[in-house]
């Protein structure tokens, strides 16, 4: 068996793609290794959301190129994901030791592409058109965990002015419900306890597949599968959360009360510049509806600090939004201009690096505060936890797992409980997790 190592950067969609890549390669005599120095084939699955993530990919592949030159000239190097989709042929000009460049749309061609590089060819397969054939006849090699990622839609038609995703992942397209249900059943048969449905805008699932095909109905179908397991979905676009979706989450006991709904900014003016299709008030209304519908729900978000033209006042509106909407946790980032996007052209409105970094620090502090406050809400409550891992600490076994609302809980218990659902009474809240006792 030859050995393949894959480094995965970016979002869950990339993680899921990497599992598919490993699955395909296992049919061609490649076994996964977690040690890059042992590998015959090194692949980096890249993310282009910010310059920082792209730079990480370039520096990693630089190191691998050196290995190839100094140690093993037969080493094969592959470069895929969102930076590959963006840079295409430019990559092999800049890094001539890369054997294979392939875009997210070309995943299903991998078996053929690998044959070609094994024969000594340099290959760049990045197609412009969004792919149709997302189904491969090969197994998926899922990471060892309790959660199975299942992509249900890919791509994005929203074109927020800062975002590269519509350029790297193409137009929105949804998978047939039958295929998703089949994949979920298989994962559950293999012992997975959680299914997470993935999509850049998961709540607009079903476009082009007929009126009945919606995320709400898909949840209802998946909920009918027998056995004890959980269902999650990410990421939601605020105004695509329909009343029927909220209703379905309520009806389906397997679907968790957890919503990730990026807001991006608390300022309606800036949201407009970002080409987000909602105001601060509309975002608040959706969040309010969800909070009213579910008792222990958590709502998390993403925010960008220092978007072009952001005033101090507008930035403060972001801080106050976190308070007002009681957001339980937020991913934060400093604005990074991306080639091809609209906002990248507004150079005269760019915020200087220092101000941007200061705002990011303030935003992170606010998030820390909000997260602690959110965790404190659960002290005294009993939550159902899926036990995921353990750690030995001071002679005790401390288990870690997640509640339905995605909160991470620590508590003492036997490691035999890994993979089980247990009830934990929450007694303590820290910034990033809650702690309690088994009931
Ligand atoms: N589809 C999701 C977001 C996917 S991208 C949505 O619509 O909300 C993940 C996150 O990266 C975004 O929510 C945004 O906060 C951040 N992001 C995207 N482009 C960025 C950029 N150019 N600079 C900084 N952060 C960015
Ligand atoms: Fe990017 Fe906006 Fe699409 Fe989200 S909705 S992936 S932020 S363009
Ligand atoms: Fe990054 Fe592509 Fe995901 S840009 S965030 S890996 S869709």
Predicted pLDDT at 139? 78
* CATH (residue range 2-125): 3.40.50.12160
Q: Residue ranges of the domains in the chain?
A: 2-125, 135-376, 382-438
Ligand 2, atom nearest to 163 Cα: 1
Q: Is pLDDT above 70 for 131?
A: no
Ligand nearest to the CA of 305: 1
Mean pLDDT for 337-358 is 98
Convert the pLDDT of each residue in 273-302 to its tens digit: 999 999 999 999 999 999 999 999 999 999
Question: How many whole angstroms separate alpha carbon 347 and alpha carbon 325?
Answer: 32
CA-nearest residue, atom 5 of ligand 2 = 158
Tokens of 215: 């995320």
Mean pLDDT of 132-151: 79
Residue nearest to atom 11 of ligand 1 (CA): 49
First to last CA, the chain: 48
CATH superfamily membership of 135-376:
tm_1862 like domain (3.80.30.20)
As a whole number of angstroms, the distance between CA 136 and CA 11 comes to 21
Does the pTM surpass 0.75? The reply is yes
Question: pLDDT by residue (tens digit) across 1-50?
Answer: 999 999 999 999 999 999 999 999 998 899 999 999 999 999 999 999 99
User: What are the residue ranges of helices labelled H in 224-279?
Assistant: 243-251, 268-273
Mutation choice for ligand 1 from 15, 165, 262, 331, CB with most ligand atoms inside 8 A: 262
How far apart CA 358 and CA 363 sit, in angstroms, is 9
Minimum-distance ligand 3 atom for the alpha carbon of 82? 2
DSSP 294-351: -TT-EEEEEEEES-TT--HHHHHHHHHHHHHTT-SEEEEEE----TTSSGGG-GGGPP
Nearest atom within ligand 1 for CA of residue 163: 19
**Peptide bond before 235: cis, by omega within 30 degrees of 0?**
yes
Burial of 69 (0-12, 13-18, 19+ CB in 10 A): exposed
Other C-beta atoms within 10 Å of 341: how many?
A: 18
Q: Give which of 312, 336, 317 is closest to 271, Cα–Cα.
A: 317
382/424 Cα distance (integer angstroms): 5
Residue 47: CB within 6 Å of ligand 3? yes
Query: Do residues 432 and 408 touch, judged by C-beta distance below 8 A?
Result: yes
Q: Tell me the CA–centroid distance for residue 410 and ligand 3, in Å.
A: 31
Q: Are 407 and 372 in contact (CB under 8 A)?
A: no
pLDDT confidence bin for 419, thresholds 50/70/90: very high
């Amino acid at each position: 068996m030859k050995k393949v190592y894959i480094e995965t950067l970016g979002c869950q969609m990339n993680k899921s793609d990497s599992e598919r890549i490993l699955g395909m390669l296992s049919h061609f005599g490649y076994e996964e290794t977690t040690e890059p120095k042992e590998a015959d084939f090194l692949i980096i699955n890249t993310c282009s959301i910010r310059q920082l993530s792209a730079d990480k990919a370039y520096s990693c592949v630089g190191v691998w190129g050196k290995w190839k030159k100094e140690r093993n000239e037969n080493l094969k190097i592959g470069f895929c994901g969102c930076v590959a989709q963006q840079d295409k042929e430019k990559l092999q000009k800049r890094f001539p030791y890369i054997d294979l460049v392939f875009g997210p749309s070309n995943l299903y061609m991998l078996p053929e592409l690998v044959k070609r590089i094994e024969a000594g060819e340099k290959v760049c397969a990045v197609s412009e058109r969004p792919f149709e054939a997302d189904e491969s006849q090969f197994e998926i090699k899922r990471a060892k965990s309790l959660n199975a990622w299942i992509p249900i839609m890919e791509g994005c038609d929203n074109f927020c002015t800062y975002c590269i995703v519509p350029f790297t992942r193409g137009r929105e397209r949804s998978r047939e419900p039958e295929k998703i249900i089949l994949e979920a059943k298989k994962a559950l048969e293999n012992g997975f306890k959680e299914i997470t449905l993935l999509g850049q805008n998961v709540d607009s699932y079903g476009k082009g597949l007929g009126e009945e095909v919606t995320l709400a109905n898909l949840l209802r179908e998946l909920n009918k599968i027998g056995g004890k397991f959980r269902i999650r979905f990410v990421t939601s676009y605020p105004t695509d959360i329909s009343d029927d979706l909220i209703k379905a989450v309520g009806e389906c006991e397997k679907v968790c009360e957890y919503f990730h709904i990026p807001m991006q900014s608390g300022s309606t003016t800036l949201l407009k510049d970002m080409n987000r299709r909602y105001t601060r008030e509309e975002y608040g209304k959706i969040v309010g509806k969800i909070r009213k519908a579910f008792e222990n729900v958590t709502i998390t978000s993403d925010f960008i600090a220092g978007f072009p033209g952001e005033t101090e006042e507008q930035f403060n509106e972001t801080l106050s939004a976190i308070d007002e909407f009681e957001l339980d946790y937020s991913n934060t980032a400093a604005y990074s201009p991306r080639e091809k996007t609209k906002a990248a052209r507004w150079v005269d409105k760019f915020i200087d690096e220092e101000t941007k970094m200061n705002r990011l620090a303030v935003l992170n502090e606010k998030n820390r505060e909000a997260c602690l406050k959110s965790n404190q809400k659960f002290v005294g409550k009993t939550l159902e936890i899926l036990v995921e891992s353990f750690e030995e600490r001071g002679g005790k076994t401390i288990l870690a797992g997640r509640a339905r609302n995605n909160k991470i809980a620590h508590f003492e218990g036997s490691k035999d409980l890994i993979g089980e659902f247990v009830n934990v009474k929450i007694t303590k809240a820290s910034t990033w997790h809650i702690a309690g006792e088994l009931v």
